[in-house]
Structure 1
């Protein structure tokens, strides 16, 4: 018999090209209860991306209106595009007991850290600059200018890693996933997410049961 459990926040950040998307996809496949926080963005969809599944793709005018309405828990500008998280949508998922995953940049993670007094904040490291550059080149989507910009941004993000509770290096994908999985499972065992557990267990210690046993 189990007691009700409240939703937790899992915030994951990493420099572009670290392999964050691959790890997150695998985590969500193994744990269907882990809801994905779909962000708003003003950047155009990439091949294979769907509106409402990967991002809510909006115009800059629509994004600014969300800011004015106070509907964003966090927002940031990354590579010239705006990204933001819907406060009402996140709160609704947490109220239903769903764990909520945030796949956001360091700026957004910092705002979430200020907005919420709980959650597990995870930073993924590439093994080295050289490996990160190889991965970015392997995409075949970066010209020389954008590659240099992403590497410069990665350096700035790495310098802010102390904002996060847990550091994971994605050198070996299998090991990185085991580490990420362990952090998520451990977070779910914290007392703040299991507020009804103690009362549920203590309710089995009834006076009648205590009184039915005697040593004579």
Structure 2
């Protein structure tokens, strides 16, 4: 039996994680964005909204693979959620921290394709303003944190790097799909 396959998309805000995931899903419905557990307020689309009590229960059971705080909320990747996502197809996990990638890859057994989506800071500012974000300053701070995270982990290796200012989302999706197909072929050889 081959290992379950998943995709990790890492990058700063507005680098295209949502857009590339939508393109992946359009390419093949087996792909689906992993809905992290979110404890807090604000945007609920793309998340499983939860309570602090639910998060504490998952932590007590050892079922939190990774959690982080940003924008005044807590976001968690949990084992029960991942199990459901893998049963449904190929989860696409969005992360903005290399420690999160390492926790996921080391803490949940699967064949993870780790993809860096990148755009310059000024592009993040333009895209954030263009989509009407009310928290562009916080997104720029997150962009700075992502750059600092990359600089702090020069040993991080990527299975694929895509500059989303030059690659269309559909092209990025095709590259990711091809990467997974190649890995599946190599695993079965």
- TM-score w.r.t. length of structure 2: 0.80
Structure 2: runs of 5+ lacking an equivalent: none
Following the alignment from structure 1 to structure 2, what is the Cα–Cα distance between the partners of residues 168 and 129?
15
Write out aligned runs for 1:104-183 (5 A).
104-106=95-97, 107-115=99-107, 116=109, 118-126=111-119, 128-143=120-135, 145-159=137-151, 160=153, 162-174=156-168, 176-183=169-176
Following the alignment from structure 2 to structure 1, what is the Cα–Cα distance between the partners of residues 53 and 171?
41
Following the alignment from structure 1 to structure 2, what is the Cα–Cα distance between the partners of residues 143 and 55?
19
| Cα deviations by residue, 1:180-205 (Å, 9 ceiling, x for unpaired) | 3223223233258854xx6xxxxxxx
Offset at 1:38? 1.4
| Cα deviations by residue, 1:104-145 (Å, 9 ceiling, x for unpaired) | 22232121122247311001010x222222222223323575
Which structure is larger by alpha-carbon Rg, 1 or 2? 1
2:5 alignment counterpart: 8
Taking a change above 3 Å as real, the CA distance of residues 140 and 37 of structure 1, as seen in their structure-2 partners, is: closer
Using the TM superposition, name which of 36-45 and 18-27 deviates more. 36-45
Taking a change above 3 Å as real, the CA distance of residues 177 and 43 of structure 1, as seen in their structure-2 partners, is: farther
Secondary structure at the counterpart of residue 170 of structure 2: helix
| Cα deviations by residue, 1:26-75 (Å, 9 ceiling, x for unpaired) | 111221112332110113242xx44xxx1111122322221112122222
Q: Which has the higher strand share?
A: 2
Structure 1: runs of 5+ lacking an equivalent: 199-216
Do 1:75 and 1:85's aligned partners in 2 also have CA atoms closer than 8 Å?
Answer: yes
Secondary structure at the counterpart of residue 162 of structure 2: strand
Offset at 1:5? 5.8
1:101 alignment counterpart: 92
2:64 alignment counterpart: 72
Do 1:7 and 1:93's aligned partners in 2 also have CA atoms closer than 8 Å?
Answer: no
Following the alignment from structure 1 to structure 2, what is the Cα–Cα distance between the partners of residues 28 and 147?
25
Following the alignment from structure 1 to structure 2, what is the Cα–Cα distance between the partners of residues 81 and 183?
29
Secondary structure at the counterpart of residue 76 of structure 2: strand
- TM-score w.r.t. length of structure 1: 0.71
